[in-house]
Structure 1
């Protein structure tokens, strides 16, 4: 394995004259290949629920978030700045600071009297760790698989990616092996069953996704049931067994075989999607820039994804300045 760019104890990288700025990821990275892929949407409930099971993160969502009032808008607009930390090239560090600062005012005390702050390094890193594992799952489950060397490379890249936020590197494991132990410990000993997690998994009345906004409401009412069941089934299948146990969810060897078949089918079908349309717009813009196509600046979320007008001035919301593009 290549040594972690932040040293064995998660310290900041140093140069001849002291600390140096972390290098953003580029098109030669495996993270670019997988993170902005639309197949990641299959894992959105998995990532959201895994994040919310963290006690401090879940408390912040419970007290400060309106996610469940505008589930699709919040999800799709978040893809832009979070994706930008990976795909914005020379602007990635600026985007990372913006994402970090959206969380600066999120703090309080939960129902058990435990204080929390969204920028606590351990809390913020847990959210990042779920994005890293989402990337791994997309590649392994729906993208043809990863070698052990590729997993180690993705680990090293996720450390560079996280360093752009400018927070303490102390929570970051020093190697892929240490990360696996960290992940197992979090899932077995730290994560908890709470209301924000159950809210993510409650999709019985979920609205039409933007892709199906043309579908008449009666037809969506019929399609919603099997689509929700499929989404929840995939989510349960991607949970570690310790998380399934904590949430009281069942998963059988037969389920696992079916998920493997689904993953292979998605992988083979995806080959027929033109490469340009496999990626989220922010990721697509990064690829365009690197390939010499004219890109005037970061692609921002369209207006349909913005929060309600009465909340657009709040510091925790991403609302693009200088106009909207898609």
Structure 2
């Protein structure tokens, strides 16, 4: 595929993808992509979408921003990062079929569905793109896709060929799997409250029930007709009316807003995506809370707080896939989340993954009593308490390896300590209140010099796993007790 100019700030692609109303077809996009068997298998085996849905969604949005709103250097770096991540997503599905996220046909489907959802957004709003506009936007889209190195034969040749490609793939390849059903009917009903809700958290159970009903009905109404027919998902009159009102109402609202309010992503892109963050540059906001922040449970005075703290750590930190057990995939997901917010070089990223694999092998060897390649919560708590009571060497062989890797990855300027900004990058995010970040930083900064050394960092994690009460500073590392 020949190299073409990337879409600029005034491109039709950026104007369409950057509008706030793209959120109306976001769930539609996730359902279409997940219906590919390889994507569904990857989600079932490796994704954190059940346990950490907000982080998973925000990662997807952030990746799209890096791909379509960056310069060529930023685009290529993101493509390379995606390839390294996807190379690890391979195995066999529940039916014994091999899958890999690097399958070119799968990658084309994921990309083309994004373009198709942009055109669907315009069509559903009552202002479809004219054929010349479709050609223009598809050309801009193909310019970005060229960096993936995919064969021209796999992508629809022109915008006019996209509908036939969608119809053929829906009828010949897609499946109505459990992850698809979960996205449509259960994910939002079970989603935890975003931490930013604050005092509104008590209203979350009702809010998510309403949101799940509205988004589910809207998604089914907006899915391609071929998809609904194949998987028997009828478009009710009420859902059709909901779609009509929301899409056309949002179009009118967007047109009435000043341009700087109309777009969720600045059309000029984010200059921070063009270069990896360093200590002297402004960092982009991390996608969400790191996988190692959680509230420490309150215990009655004098009681050993470790068992409850370890169970909380297991559920909210280790069990990234949300299936009640941990495996290599869970530790791999934790490594991914560390690397994501830091935009590490391939070599530094590989060291983080290797450290978390070392931690997993240590967990598996000492905890997997039935040798099934997985560790349950009770296996984890029992073995961890036995290990830490036996002596300090137990944590050095596993946990400390991963913790030191996190420290060195976050120490972007190689100074040997973490400043407040570096701490916020690795532990912060849209769901973490600034007060919690400040509290956590002060707990680690034992000598109060405004920076955290590697040994202070490691000691805090050690205290978290070994302190018998919640009064020890390290026990509050991941949140106030």
What TM-score range do you get, normalising by the shorter chain?
0.7 to 0.9
1:243 to 216, 219, 227: 227
C-alpha deviations, 1:183-206, integer Å up to 9, x for none?
Answer: 111112211110111121212222
Structure 1: state its 5+ residue gaps.
Answer: 1-11, 14-20, 290-294
- Find the counterpart in structure 2 of residue 318 from structure 1: 340
Does residue 220 of structure 2 align to residue 198 of structure 1?
no
- Find the counterpart in structure 2 of residue 265 from structure 1: 249
CA distance in 1, matches of 2:337, 2:59: 15
- Is this contact kept in 2: 1:155–1:176, CA < 8 A? yes
Report the number of matched residues. Answer: 300
* TM score, norm. by length of structure 1: 0.81
Which has the higher Rg, Structure 1 or Structure 2? 2
Matches within 5 A, 1:39-50: 39-50=21-32
- Find the counterpart in structure 1 of residue 202 from structure 2: 218
Matches within 5 A, 1:18-97: 21-90=3-72, 91-97=74-80
The residue matched to 1:319 in structure 2 has which SS? helix
- Is this contact kept in 1: 2:55–2:289, CA < 8 A? yes
What displacement does 1:142 show? 4.0
- Find the counterpart in structure 2 of residue 231 from structure 1: 215
Does residue 263 of structure 2 align to residue 279 of structure 1?
yes
Task: Kindly indicate whether structure 1 or structure 2 has the higher relative contact order, using CA contacts under 8 Å at least 6 residues apart.
Answer: 1
- Is this contact kept in 2: 1:102–1:318, CA < 8 A? no
What displacement does 1:207 show? 2.7
C-alpha deviations, 1:114-158, integer Å up to 9, x for none?
Answer: 211101110011111111122222333348432222122222222
Higher helix share: 2
- Is this contact kept in 2: 1:188–1:242, CA < 8 A? yes
* TM score, norm. by length of structure 2: 0.56
What displacement does 1:75 show? 0.8
CA pair 259-184 structure 1, distance change in 2 beyond 3 A: same
- Is this contact kept in 2: 1:38–1:278, CA < 8 A? yes
The residue matched to 2:233 in structure 1 has which SS? coil
Query: Mean Cα displacement is larger for which, 55-64 or 140-149?
Result: 140-149
CA pair 262-303 structure 1, distance change in 2 beyond 3 A: closer
- Find the counterpart in structure 2 of residue 7 from structure 1: none
What displacement does 1:304 show? 2.9
The residue matched to 1:47 in structure 2 has which SS? helix
CA pair 209-138 structure 1, distance change in 2 beyond 3 A: farther
Structure 2: state its 5+ residue gaps.
Answer: 272-276, 293-316, 318-330, 344-411, 413-421, 431-481
CA distance in 2, matches of 1:200, 1:258: 19
The residue matched to 1:250 in structure 2 has which SS? coil
CA distance in 2, matches of 1:58, 1:141: 27
- Find the counterpart in structure 2 of residue 5 from structure 1: none
- Find the counterpart in structure 2 of residue 120 from structure 1: 103
- Find the counterpart in structure 1 of residue 389 from structure 2: none
CA pair 288-124 structure 1, distance change in 2 beyond 3 A: closer
The residue matched to 2:87 in structure 1 has which SS? coil
The residue matched to 1:69 in structure 2 has which SS? coil
- Is this contact kept in 2: 1:187–1:240, CA < 8 A? no
CA pair 162-297 structure 1, distance change in 2 beyond 3 A: farther
